[in-house]
Amino acid sequence: MSEYRIAIIGLGYVGLPLAVAFAEKYKVLGFDINQPRIAELNNGHDHTLEVEDDLLKSVLSTREGAPGLYNTSKIEDIKGCNVYIVTVPTPIDDDHNPDLTPLIKASETVGAVLAEGDIVIYESTVYPGATEEECVPVLEKFSGLKYNQGFFCGYSPERINPGDKEHTVKKILKVTSGSTPEIAEEVDQLYKSVITAGTYKAASIKVAEAAKVIENSQRDINIAFVNELAMIFNKMKIDTVDVLEAAGTKWNFLPFRPGLVGGHCIGVDPYYLAQKAKKVGYYPQILLAGRRLNNSIGPYVGSQVVKLLMKSGKVVNESKVLVMGITFKENCPDIRNSRVIDIVLELQDFGVGVDVYDPWANAEEVKHEYGLDLLESADMEQYDGIVLAVAHKEFSAGVLDKVKEDAVIYDVKSFFPKDKVTSRL
């Protein structure tokens, strides 16, 4: 194409940083159905904190501006673009089945404005084959065009790490692919023009999809292994972190640590691969075993805290516990699929009074998603137990100076000094 006009469909944790990166060089229209989100971005602020306000403001432009980013919730505004990049969420439902609804709806939106020769690139995490088996038929139906004749597709898996200010979108090598060899090369060159870390052109769209889904599945399985070790060593009264640090002196030992596994990637992606595996006649064992074990860690932590309360002579159903952190990772406002809620629910099942404090999380989002009322501040002295669930920088060891002398302190993240806590995962 002689001139790219790029539409980014979905302006969340993945879409916005990508839109800003492209907007430094191309005309970019950011599209999202969330009108308050559009208003926020057009005022130069990103509440997810993935893009700094100064950077966002520097690329904003009017619709006619070139290059630059114009954000909209109107479908007609993106008509006339020739590259559409879909970055919508791909969640799971309550039964852990992949929910492709956002992806299908986004494909309908794009299909309605698709023109001859356009390219549609998907970044949303899916199982191998989803782009061509699920999305392409929708694009054909709503556009009236034929795949690889009237329009083309690509797949470039997102590699955004929420809250990470070092590994930002332009600094992470990007896998690319296309529906024909020529389109694969064009998609690769497009990304290469803004991704300073470079690109890797995969052999096919399915290969690129598979590469993405196993990246996080691999991490999930490795974390499940050390989580199981933590349970075993707890029975033996051995400190797991001490063991891992000793084992880590070997050059090829992998430095994984036990913990809660949430978020929109590691705790979700294995289910996408597992569903596809079942469809082709294979029931995955390691994939799902890792998921089951990691999903058990929140309740396990809650039960361990209850045992510690009992051992310290406290009446469990009269005890108050403060859970520090609700986001799925440290120094980040992202609460999607946070497994901290499992700790809270387990403690509540035992009759424990639970408060949650998190200076990073949005109170309204937490209330909507988990039904919890966040504390605006925490008076540490009133609690019989403290659970450090998320290692925010605000939760330095100094906060423990105000804790009751006989309080139970459980450190999920091994964040506090070992001699300051009662137990750690």
Cβ atoms within 10 Å of 248's Cβ, excluding its own: 12
Question: No. of H helices and E strands in the chain?
Answer: 15, 14
Burial class of 204 by CB neighbour count within 10 A (0 to 12, 13 to 18, 19+): middle
**DSSP 8-state class, residue 151:** B
Long-range CB contacts (< 8 A, 24+ apart) of 161-165? 162/13, 162/48, 162/50, 162/263, 162/329, 162/332, 162/334, 163/49, 163/329, 163/330, 163/331, 163/332, 163/334
Query: Nearest-CA neighbor of 336 among 92, 65, 155?
Result: 92
Query: Nearest-CA neighbor of 374 among 358, 389, 387?
Result: 358
Cα torsion 80, 84, 89, 95: sign: positive
Q: Which residues are catalytic?
A: 265
Cβ atoms within 10 Å of 97's Cβ, excluding its own: 12
- 166 contacts: CB under 8 Å, gap ≥ 6: none
DSSP result, 247-272: HTTSTT----------TTTTTTHHHH
How far apart, in whole angstroms, are the C-alpha atoms of residue 299 and residue 292?
A: 12
Percentages helix, strand, coil for the chain (3-state, rounded to 5) are: 40, 15, 45
List, in sequence order, every beta strand (DSSP E) within 40-194: 68-72, 83-86, 119-122, 152-155, 174-176
Element (H, E) at 88: none
Alpha helix locations (H) across 236-329? 240-247, 269-279, 286-295, 297-311
